[in-house]
Structure 1
Amino acid sequence: MSEEHPARPGDAAALELRPALEAVLMVVDEPATVDHLAKVTGRHRRAVAAALEELAEEYTRQGRGFELRMVAGGWRFYTRPQYAAAVEAYALDGQQARLTQAALETLAVVAYRQPVSRSRVSAVRGVNCDGVMRTLLQRGLVEEAGAEPETGAILYTTTTYFLERMGLRGLDELPELAPFLPEADAIEAETQEALPSFDPDAPEPGEGAMTTTERLTEL
């Protein structure tokens, strides 16, 4: 075939072009250029460009829930706009669209005192923040940032996604609220004993005491 490089057994060039393109596009995390796709499939650029156009037209003709589009100089699969609601429902299934008050308070403490450990965040808030921190981690709003030298406790900071959601260019644009937050160092000692265990497998003291999981559901 004049539009293809000579195929060798086991090479991508030995595969049928359109299914090969579909397989590659299923795993890309950013738009793939025609040149890159031609390289990985071992085909000429013109053949790849034509196959992509054919696939895009075929998906539209068949009314698929996804479409193949050229965006930012490359090709990638996208959800067809009229089916975005189904994807949104799936992504939010079992989650709250908005953060709870507890999560917002915890996020504020992390934002102003980062890098900060869970125990210090809990000391500032006066309650165990394990469950809330897990939520913030899952939402991509905070991330691990090494360990505290003195205790080995994991430290947390806000993420780039946090800045994007807040519409900030950097942490220096946060409102001047830090002076009004209580000093964690001053109150940590007196609140630490009242906090539930941070080890989910640790036995709870006292007969009839609530389990760590039960406590977290109260947050």
Structure 2
Amino acid sequence: MSDEQRGDSLADQAAAWVPPWDRPRPTTAEDTPTPPDESAAPPDTSGGPDPVELASDEVGPGEPQHAEAASDEVASAEPDRGAANRVGSAGPDLGAVTKGTPGESGDAGDVPRRQQAGRRRVTAAPEPAPELSDTELRGALEAILLVVDEPVSELVLAQVLEQPAERVGPMLDEIAAGYTAAGHGFELRRAAGGWRLYTRPEYATYVERFVLDGQSVRLTQAALETLAVVAYKQPVTRSRISAIRGVNCDGVIRTLVTRGLIEECGTETDSGAFLYKTTTLFLEKLGLNTVNELPPLAPFLPDDVEELADATR
């Protein structure tokens, strides 16, 4: 057979070839074909070359055995349109594809979850705390003041009891006045910016005898003098304290800082030296609310203080 006859034979075979989806299928009870979906649009084959022409062009003279293979490859590349319409076919899960397609709703169970995730969670506002009666407020304040180890402010008490601060302040004043009128051995008073229970000064001797029992740790005369200078001149530098006392007071200042009676409060602008001031513990130990309640120094100064100052210069 010549090359021209072989080429004509291949062209005839390609022209007579029928795709698998157009071939007649035997009708059985288990496999009954369903009518094709008229709404489905046929695949667009205008953009690609004709599979028959592609197969015939690729097959050259002397290679007849590759013509059928090329035709089978083109046929296998086309989608099995009949398989999509057959019931019980082993085709791809169209539901899974539709579910994952962007812009589509997908699974019906996913829609409420997405809507729920997009909504803001609305929580009910906390109910306001019930307002305590005067008797309950008085008892609650007394219970807290019995266990505190440092003065507590009115604002903190109001936050703990969830009551307005306008009620807490007058109630504390009423409690303090009641203790004084009843003659109790303790009193409620302001100290270091807060409120705390204290023993009365007239019973201090008995309290000291019970608490200290000979184990009193007192400040030295040098420590008391240094603490007095800091209290009246604060904020003050270490060199200024030494100049007022006339001796070096570095060791005494370290002792007062260790006991928590004075603390650093910044540096001096000109020299950069540390400044010292009294602490809240100092006010608490003396029973003062602020340093403004310290007694004035004028009555304790000698009459010739100016002459002494001039002599020192």
TM-score by length of 1: 0.39
Report which of the two structures shows the higher radius of gyration computed on alpha carbons.
2
**Which structure is richer in relative contact order (CA contacts within 8 A, separation 6 or more)?**
1
